[in-house]
Amino acid sequence: LDTSGLLCPLPVLKARRALNTMQSGQCLRVIATDSKAPGDFAAYCEQSGDILREVTQDGERHLILVQKG
């Protein structure tokens, strides 16, 4: 899911919408350019029961892997 150029809270909201269509155990890879995205996704996963598997940075892009809880 490419959320490049979107600011908080849109990357998390778009990811949540996508995760709601997925089955437990499936993973969603998100690309975000908002510098707050890693923290936003960590907070979201704590609340939602989904699992933040990985956060890496590639230049200005954050690559975020979330597993559906």
- Active site members: 8
Whose CA is closest to 37, among 9, 66, 65? 9
Radius of gyration for the chain, computed over Cα atoms and rounded to the nearest angstrom? 11
With beta carbons less than 8 A apart as the criterion, state whether 22 and 33 touch: no
